[in-house]
Structure formats: C-alpha cells, structure tokens
Amino acid sequence: MKPSILVARAVFPDLVERLRAWFEVDDNPEDHILDRPQLIQRLQGKAGVITTGSERIDAQVLDACPELRAVCNMAVGYNNLDVPACTARGVLCSNTPDVLTETTADFGFALMMATARRITEAEHFLRRGEWTRWAYDMFIGADVHRATLAVLGMGRIGQAIARRGRFGFGMQVIYHNRSRLPADTEAELGARYVDKPTLLREADHLVIVVPYSAESHHLIGAQELAQMKPTATLTNIARGGIVDDVALASALRERRIAAAGLDVFEGEPRVHPDLLAVPNVVLTPHIASATVATRRAMFTLASDNLVAALGCGPDAGRPPTPLNPEVLSRMRPGLT
C-alpha cells in the first residue's frame, strides 16, 4: 500500500501529479487555508506533508498526528516548523535552500532600487493624473551605484545581493552576521565585516536577510532606526517580525530614514495600517521567490525530500536537504 501524504496548499498540478507515483495524495487545488483543527484533521493517517509558510507544525500538531513522519517545507525559511519538537518525535524536516537564492536576491535588489528611486510612489502619482509638469525635485531619490550597501545577514541570499551590488553597481559592501565569513569569501565579495551599530550608521541602503528566530525578533526597532542616516533606505525580504513595523512606520512618517521596501510583514497577510498610510514605502506581498522556474524548483525539492524521507525512489533514506538528519536513523515507525 502506498503511504498517504498531504500537499497543504495549491501548487503546480503537474508536479503534484508526479507524487502520485509514490503516494496516495490528498491535495488542495482550491487552496483553502487550513486552520489548525482542519490541518490536524487532514493529517490523520498521513505519513508526510508538504507545507508552506502558512502551516505551523509544532508539538500539538505532531502529537495529534502520530503517523506523521516527514514535514517538507516549500521554503528556505522554516520558522513555521518547530524543528526540535519534530526531532524529539522522530519526524524528519526539510527546507528548500539554494534553489531560490538568485531569484530572491534579484528581487531584494529590485526592491531596494525601487525604494531608493521611489518608483511605486512616482507611478501612483502618475496614475492619479497629477503629472502636469517637470520639477527639479520631483521624486528625487538616492543613488544606488557606488553607494554603501549594508547587508544584515550574510548567508546565501545576502552574499548573492552583495555580489550584485559590488560587481553590478560598484557599491561598497559592508555586512553584519552572527559569524564572520571566511577571509577568502570576504575578499571575493569585497565585503567588510562591521558591528551592528557601524552597519546602521554607515548604510546608504540596508538590506535585511536574516532568518527569523526569537533572537532576531525586532532586531530593527526604534533604537536601531535612530542610528541610521536620514537619507538611508531599509529593505526587508527576510521575515516579518525582524523589523518593528510600528517603529518603522513612525521613522518613515517623520523622515528619520528616507524610505523602506518591504516584502514581509508582522502578522502578514495583514499589513499594519501605519505602513499603508506612509507614502515613502514600497510594499509587496511576500513574492521574493515568485518566478515560475524557482517556485517549480522549490516544490520539486520539497517533493524529492518527501519521497526520499519516506523510503521511496532512488534516494530512499537520503533526503537532499534535511534540517534534522539525525532523525533519519530513528524515524517514527510507519503504519503497518
């Protein structure tokens, strides 16, 4: 008998179809967002699940779904998964690193440029029919080329953004990270490691790419914003909650920083009304990885992890990107 799995959200139907070679697939083509009781109910009798950021898997869900053995997230960030709780119960978790790095870096750079050059603000003005004449200071913004690019979180995506800044735009790259990069990587990127106050003080364009955790909650709040130049921009493509949205909105309103570009929000898909009320912010609905090729690659990688984790396919027992590989030798027993 094939194991049963759940694909929690609507995704490319042809890729879901491929999973039917290995599994009885319960999918969600209508894309209903499953609340916690619905998720628990749909996971009954399921050996695996493909989640996105909208499904939270924690101790309560795991205990209510004793047959669940593998949770494969279609995202590189995995703050929706309680990995220690999964590990304690012998449940394998995986994410989708690498396949989205360049696409997400493209978007981060585009959002930073749109922010610096006030592109959406200018478009809204034009659409409202307010463009009647030229003015020397109309939507005057800040240069990106040769400016100081400050990267907070120098992982794979941070490094890909740094490369774009350095080699495409001649930017000075500074960064802050929990751990310093090896000297040869710093040299290749032309990136200078600085402490957080220096990063904030020197940034012309601050780009945030740190993972969300209890430690990174409100890493950027009123105090940090106060250290930035009034001409600086802030771009967040990481997770909501890393920036204090209320503090950011008041810094933008009072022009204590010039502008912000946000793809992620505290409590998304709701956006704080204070942010909606300020003009100098570019807002996008968490789409940094949204290209056809990358979203397909993310789902394919999540599927490969699930197939292998549940002992199927040519790589049975060897999922490509596990988060807790120590579980592989002691996974929860399957249905007999």
Helix (H, G, I), strand (E, B) or coil at 73: strand
3-state secondary structure (DSSP) of residue 312: coil
Torsion angles phi and psi, residue 298, rounded to 5: -65, -45
Binding of residue 100 to ligand 8YV (CB under 6 A)? yes
SS3 230: coil
Q: Which candidate, 64, 57, 49, places its Cα nearest to that of 5?
A: 49
φ/ψ (deg, to 5) at 53: -60, -15
Please say which residue, 3 or 53, places its beta carbon nearer to ligand 8YV. 53
State the nearest-atom distance from the C-beta of 112 to ligand 8YV, in Å.
17
User: Scanning the structure block, which residue is given the tokens 């697939």?
Assistant: 25
Nearer to ligand 8YV, 122 or 290 (CB): 290
Residue 158: closest CA among 91, 225, 238: 238
Residue 156 or 256 having the CB closest to ligand 8YV: 156
- Tokens 């735009």 correspond to 169
Q: Which is nearer to ligand 8YV, 79 or 172 (CB)?
A: 79
Mention every residue, 6+ apart, whose C-beta is less than 8 A from residue 247.
220, 221, 222, 225
Q: How far is the CB of 32 from ligand 8YV (least distance, A)?
A: 16
Beta-bridge partners for 207: 151, 235
Per-residue 3-state assignment (H helix, E strand, C coil) for 186-213: HHHHCEEECCHHHHHHHCCEEEECCCCC
DSSP H stretches of helix in the chain = 13-19, 36-42, 59-64, 83-88, 101-116, 119-127, 156-163, 169, 183-189, 196-202, 222-226, 245-253, 273-276, 292-309
3 is an interface residue for ligand 8YV by CB under 6 A: no
CB of 81 to ligand 8YV, least distance (A): 11
- What the block records as the tokens of 183 is 């000297």
Residues 195-234 that bind ligand 8YV (CB under 6 A): none
> Among residues 101 and 148, whose Cβ is nearest to ligand 8YV?
101
53-92 footprint of ligand 8YV as x/- string (CB under 6 A) = x--------------------xxxx---------------
Q: Using CB under 6 A, which of 28, 52, 172, 250 touches ligand 8YV?
A: 52
Taking the complex as a whole, the smallest distance from the CB of residue 76 to ligand 8YV amounts, in Å, to: 4
Least distance between ligand 8YV and beta carbon 289 (Å): 3
CB-based contact 35:58 (threshold 8 Å): no
| Minimum separation from the CB atom of position 77 to ligand 8YV (A) | 3
Please identify, using beta-carbon distances, which residue of 177 and 289 lies nearer to ligand 8YV: 289
Output 75 or 278, the one with its CB closest to ligand 8YV: 75
> Interface residues for ligand 8YV in 284-303 (CB under 6 A)?
289
Angle at 157 between CA 298 and CA 294, to 5 degrees: 25
CB of 75 to ligand 8YV, least distance (A): 3
Interface of this chain with ligand 8YV, residues 236 to 295, rule: CB under 6 A = 289
Look-up of token digits 């790095």:
101
Number of residues that bind ligand 8YV (CB under 6 A): 8
Active site residues: 239, 268, 286
Interface ranges with ligand 8YV (CB under 6 A): 52-53, 74-77, 100, 289
